[in-house]
């Protein structure tokens, strides 16, 4: 028997008090769409209020409610007689810390409902929900195939959103490679460090999710028509493509780091070689100047001829040493 449809709660933004402090919201912020006997409920950053309302309405297990409110869940699937509870992670750019971070998407999937609960706003899910809300034909097309088919499109849009992030990482690696030979060593080291951090963060998100997606293909079969059972295999392929690209980027960034260290070492060797040549060429000149600067008598002391002779000797020694270094290809 179909569950009774509750009236859709109004969405009201939080107000501020006269002192400028935020006032806690007292109404649940729940968005809901229905068509063809299927209901899609979407809540960004659910609070205990929304979680409790949904649990009471659909009879969710209390542990699932705790997982929705928790911030430290790994990707997983919990199966119940009437529904599935799925936790997945997707990358998003966290402006607060200015780095790539993991966004959690909690999903309740039943025969006549789909509930999506991201802990931060995931734009692909928001855009798809908005399109279904504004385009009735699009809504009927997605909702008429069942809850599993609708979930597939939600996840497909999220994985499509993952590839532009990978393209940005690839562009960063190409830019690092171009800048490596331009002499900005400190900037290149910083850019390589940032790229490595993004790749590591992305790998931490995708690695535990691969096994969950393979299991999701098996668990969702009871919510899909027979001719659509292979759809979730496409999501597993997308995750594997992402993982392969991340593996390639990991090898590339490690190669760039090694190459940059070699370039820096080569430049340092050039500087040290130049300083060594300067030191070695000045050493005999200093010796000659010291000998003739001693407080003793020597032939020609105090004459112009002695000055020019000493100067010529210094120039001759310097030219001879530079010629020797050139012959040895040290210069």
CATH code where residue 215 lies: 3.30.460.20
Q: Which pLDDT value is given to residue 89?
A: 92
DSSP-based three-state secondary structure for 90 = strand
How large is the angle between the packed helices 185-219 and 231-292, nearest 10 degrees?
160
What whole-number distance in Å separates Cα of residue 281 and Cα of residue 113?
Answer: 85
Q: Are residues 232 and 282 in the same domain?
A: no
Q: How far apart are CA 163 and CA 98, in angstroms?
A: 19
Could you give the strand order of the β-sheet that contains 76-79, starting from the edge strand earlier in sequence? 31-35, 38-42, 113-118, 99-110, 84-94, 76-79
User: Within this chain, do residues 294 and 254 fall inside the same structural domain, yes or no?
Assistant: no
Pair (217, 304) in one structural domain:
no
- Does position 15 have pLDDT exceeding 70, yes or no? no
What residues are paired with 41 via a beta bridge? Answer: 32, 115
Specify if 25 maps to a domain: no
**Per-residue confidence at 4, pLDDT binned at 50, 70, 90?**
very low
Tell me the percentage of the chain whose pLDDT exceeds 70: 86
- State residue 3's pLDDT score: 39
pLDDT of residue 38: 92
Better pLDDT: 99 or 5: 99
Confidence label for 281 from pLDDT (cuts 50, 70 and 90) = confident
Q: Is the same domain home to 219 and 312?
A: no
Note whether residue 305 is domain-resident: yes
57 and 133 in a single domain? The answer is yes
DSSP 10-29: PP-PPPB-TTSPBPPP-S--
Q: Which of these, 181, 203, 184, 206, lies nearest to 251 by C-alpha position?
A: 203
Domain boundary among 264, 286, 318: 264
Mean pLDDT of 287-300: 72
Lookup: tokens for 50? 């929304």
The number of domains in the chain is: 2
159 compared with 286, residue with greater pLDDT:
159
In the DSSP assignment, the letter for residue 235 is H
Residues 6+ apart with CB under 8 A from 220: 84, 109, 148, 151, 152, 232
Q: Give residue 283's pLDDT.
A: 82
Beta bridge partners of 85: 78, 108
276 in the same domain as 178: no
Could you tell me which residues come within 8 angstroms of residue 157 by beta carbon, excluding any fewer than 6 positions away? Answer: 124, 125, 127, 128
Establish if 90 belongs to a structural domain: yes
Tell me, what CATH number does 287's domain have? 1.20.58
pTM of the model: 0.73
Q: Are residues 239 and 301 in the same domain?
A: no
Inter-CA distances, 128 with 152, 178, 182, 253, Å:
12, 38, 44, 35
In which domain, by residue range, is 311 found? 267-327
């Amino acid at each position: 028997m179909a569950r009774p449809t509750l009236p859709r709660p109004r969405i009201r933004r939080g107000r501020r008090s006269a002192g400028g402090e935020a006032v806690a919201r007292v109404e649940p912020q729940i968005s809901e769409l229905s068509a063809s006997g299927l209901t899609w409920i979407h809540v960004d950053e659910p609070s205990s209020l929304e979680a409790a309302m949904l649990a009471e309405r659909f009879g969710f297990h209390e542990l699932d409610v705790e997982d929705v409110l928790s911030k430290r869940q790994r990707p997983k699937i919990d199966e119940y007689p009437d529904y599935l509870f799925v936790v997945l992670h997707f990358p998003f750019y966290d402006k607060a810390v200015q780095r790539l971070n993991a966004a959690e998407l909690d999903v309740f999937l039943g025969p006549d409902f789909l509930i999506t609960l991201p802990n931060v706003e995931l734009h692909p899910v928001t855009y798809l929900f908005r399109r279904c809300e504004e385009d009735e034909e699009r809504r009927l097309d997605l909702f008429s195939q069942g809850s599993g088919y609708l979930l597939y499109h939600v996840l497909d849009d999220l994985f499509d959103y993952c590839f532009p992030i990978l393209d940005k990482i690839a562009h960063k690696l190409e830019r690092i490679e171009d800048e490596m030979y331009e002499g900005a060593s400190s900037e290149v080291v910083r850019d390589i460090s940032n790229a490595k951090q993004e790749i590591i963060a992305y790998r931490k998100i995708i690695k535990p999710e691969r096994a969950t997606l393979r299991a999701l293909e098996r668990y969702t079969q009871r919510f899909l028509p027979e001719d659509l059972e292979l759809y979730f295999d496409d999501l597993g392929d997308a995750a594997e493509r992402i993982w392969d690209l991340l593996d390639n980027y990991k090898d590339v960034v490690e190669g760039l780091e090694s190459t940059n260290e070699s370039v820096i070492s080569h430049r340092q060797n050039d500087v040290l070689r130049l300083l060594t040549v300067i030191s070695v060429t000045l050493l005999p000149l200093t010796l000659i100047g010291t000998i003739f600067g001693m407080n003793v008598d020597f032939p020609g002391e105090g004459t112009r001829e002695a000055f020019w002779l000493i100067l010529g000797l210094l120039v001759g020694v310097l030219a001879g040493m530079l010629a020797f270094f050139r012959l040895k290809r040290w210069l």
